[in-house]
Every structure is written in structure tokens, then in C-alpha cells.
Amino acid sequence: MSALLEVRDLSVRFNVGDAELNAVRSLSFDVSEGECLGVVGESGAGKSQAFLAALGLLADNARARGSVRYRGREILNAPRRELDALRGRRMAMVFQDPLSGLTPTARIGHQLEESARRHLGMNARQARGKALEMLETVRLPDPRRCLALYPFELSGGMRQRVMIALGMICEPDLLIADEPTTALDVTIQAQILRLLGELQRDANTSIVLITHDLSVAAAFSDRIMILYNGRLVESGTTHEVFRSPKHPYTAGLLASLPSLTIDPASDLPTIPGQPPDAMKSVQGCAFAERCKHAMDRCWSERPVLAAPGAQHAAACHLLSA
């Protein structure tokens, strides 16, 4: 499989007052053609910002460095015109919050048709047909009526489906789904994930699934990438990562998964301590404060990702000890 998206040494920094916040720190990874990659990490780990940077959608106070290549072509900080040809057409994103992600003053139909007309060269009638077809594909009840509705007239789950329809309408090569199920209840969550899976199979779209929920990523993706404090700490096939996690943070996440035998109401084992402050930069391992295996070396020397690009890699001194 060749790489569809190659990210190398990507950093995202925010200017906040006179301080700097490092949201993403020299991150490197690939997304292959047709694969499904799960991106997991706690809130603030830099999951969203890494992909927003790739699409050129960062906030005004952010700066992105490094390299992002789409099919070999550099797109990080590319001119707007070049990005406009890719965004929505080749690479699409389903955003984290479907409540605020749709324009409140425009009808659903219009918001979908806009993409089809822009990228697929359709006329108004064709675009309407395509929009309807997409709403059927994402199984929105009564799709014809929904075309004429405004976002506030839909439920959360329906809006999420509209967002997915919006992402898929031009059959992109890469769909980045940022927490597409977080706000939804469990049944709808499962439906949405199944839908994404079908779309991936039918259109051979690569999917990046961003989630803080390891079990969602496990159920869905071929490969998993774990982010901590803006860095990649472990990556590998879902199978490998689950069978033999290499990084203590991953091991902690796995241990905190509710297993079916435990009463979900009882106390779940969670990783003690707080996620690190993105404003601060530590010299050693960012996880050291919470790591029960921490050694002297961990405080002074940052562990590098062992064998990057290999099937299964992690950034931890335990691996080289």
C-alpha cells in the first residue's frame, strides 16, 4: 500500500497572549490508501489540531511547521487556491461538533449541493439529486423533506449523519472523522460507525477516526496511533497494539477499558494523574509524572519512537533498556 498522506515532523503552535502552546510536537505518520486509521488520545492530546493543520484549517493564532504530503505533493501551508481544489474533493473532514458545524442560516440541501456543484461540476438539478442520494446513503429518515430543513430542525444524530454526507458527497480519497460519535447515544454510535465502515468499503476511502475511546478505535480501525502531549507514543496494527501494548500509557488505556464482566457502574481503573499542560515543555518523557515504570533517564532524556515506520513502534525507554 502506498501512502496517501505522509506527515513528517509536524508541529502546531498557538500564540496565546505572550505565551506559546504546543499542540502538536514533531509528529510523523502515514495514512495508506484505503486503510482505516484510529487516532487515540486524551482531550488536548493534539488529535484534532494535527489534522486541521493538514487541511489548512487552523485558527488564526496557530502556526504549523513540518511537512504534509498528499500523494507526494506538499500541502502544508499551501496557497488557498490549491487547498480549495483538494478540500472537500480529495480530503474531507467530519467535524467534532455537529451542532455548531452546520451553517444555521442555510438549508441542509443547499449545504450539500454547494459541494457537489463546486467540485463535481453539477448543475442545480443534478446537485439536488446527488444531495438526496447522499442523505439516503447515510440513512436519514425522510431525506426528501430533510433537504428543505435547517440544521436546528434536526436531532444530534441526524446532524451527524448530514455531516458525514457532507464529507462523503464528492467521494474523497481521505475522510477524517473527528469524534463522529461522541455526542451520540450508544445505538446511534454503532450505526454511525457501521455507516463509516460501509462507505469506506464501497468507495475505497481511507478513513482517519479520531477518538478518545480506545474501544471505538479498536472496533473500527486497521491501525491505531496513540498521541500523548502532542506526540506519537505508540503506533501499530490494532491487533498488535491490543495484544502487546508497548507503551505504559497504552497499557494504562487498555486496563481502563470497561470489560464486559465488570459492572460499568463500579469504579473503573483509570490512569492516575492529569494530562500534561500543553503550555509547558518537558525535557524527558511527558508521561513520566504518571508512569509507574519511570526511571531517572525518563526525566532527562526524551524517548524516541523506536523503529518508526515499523509495524509496531513506541516511544519509551523501557524498550531500549
Residues that bind Mg ion (CB under 5 A): 48
Query: Which contiguous run of DSSP H or E holds residue 20?
Result: strand 19-32
Pairing relationship of beta strands 3-16 and 62-70 according to DSSP bridges: antiparallel
Instruction: State yes or no: residue 271 binds ligand SF4 (CB under 6 A).
Output: no
d(CA 29, CA 147): 38
Applying CB under 8 A, among 26, 34, 57, 188 the residue interacting with other proteins is: 57
Instruction: State yes or no: residue 291 binds ligand SF4 (CB under 6 A).
Output: yes
Strand partners, 38: 209, 224
The option from ligand ATP, ligand SF4, other proteins, none interacting with 248 (CB < 5 to 8 A, set by class) reads: ligand SF4
CA distances for 308 relative to 28, 29, 129, angstroms: 9, 9, 46
- Which residues 237-266 are close enough to bind ligand SF4 by CB under 6 A? 247-248
Instruction: State yes or no: residue 294 binds ligand SF4 (CB under 6 A).
Output: yes
Instruction: State yes or no: residue 18 binds other proteins (CB under 8 A).
Output: no
By the 8 A CB rule, do 70 and 90 touch?
Answer: yes
Report the Cα–Cα distance between both ends of the chain, in Å, rounded. Answer: 33
- Which residues 302-321 are close enough to bind ligand SF4 by CB under 6 A? 303, 316-318
Helix axes 156-168 and 186-203, enclosed angle (nearest 10):
10
φ/ψ of 317, rounded to 5, equals -65, -25
The option from ligand SF4, ligand ATP, other proteins, none interacting with 70 (CB < 5 to 8 A, set by class) reads: none
266 contact partners, CB below 8 Å, separation of at least 6: none
Number of other CB atoms surrounding residue 141 within 10 Å: 9
**Could you list the residues that contact ligand ATP (CB under 6 A)?**
14, 16, 21, 23, 41, 43-49, 59, 61, 96, 212, 278
Instruction: State yes or no: residue 177 binds other proteins (CB under 8 A).
Output: no
Total residues contacting other proteins by CB under 8 A comes to 33
Closer CB to Mg ion, 48 or 189, in the complex = 48
φ/ψ of 72, rounded to 5, equals 85, -10
The option from ligand ATP, Mg ion, ligand SF4, none interacting with 43 (CB < 5 to 8 A, set by class) reads: ligand ATP
Rounded to 10 degrees, the C-alpha dihedral 244/250/255/260 comes to: -80
8 contact partners, CB below 8 Å, separation of at least 6: 28, 66, 67, 68, 69
Closer CB to other proteins, 57 or 295, in the complex = 57
Applying CB under 6 A, among 144, 293, 309, 311 the residue interacting with ligand SF4 is: 293
Applying CB under 8 A, among 32, 71, 122, 150 the residue interacting with other proteins is: 150
Instruction: State yes or no: residue 114 binds other proteins (CB under 8 A).
Output: yes
Instruction: State yes or no: residue 71 binds other proteins (CB under 8 A).
Output: no
Residues that bind other proteins (CB under 8 A): 52, 55, 57, 59-60, 80-81, 83-89, 92-93, 95, 97, 100-106, 114-115, 118-119, 150, 152, 163, 166
Residues that bind ligand SF4 (CB under 6 A): 247-248, 285, 287-288, 291, 293-295, 298, 303, 316-318
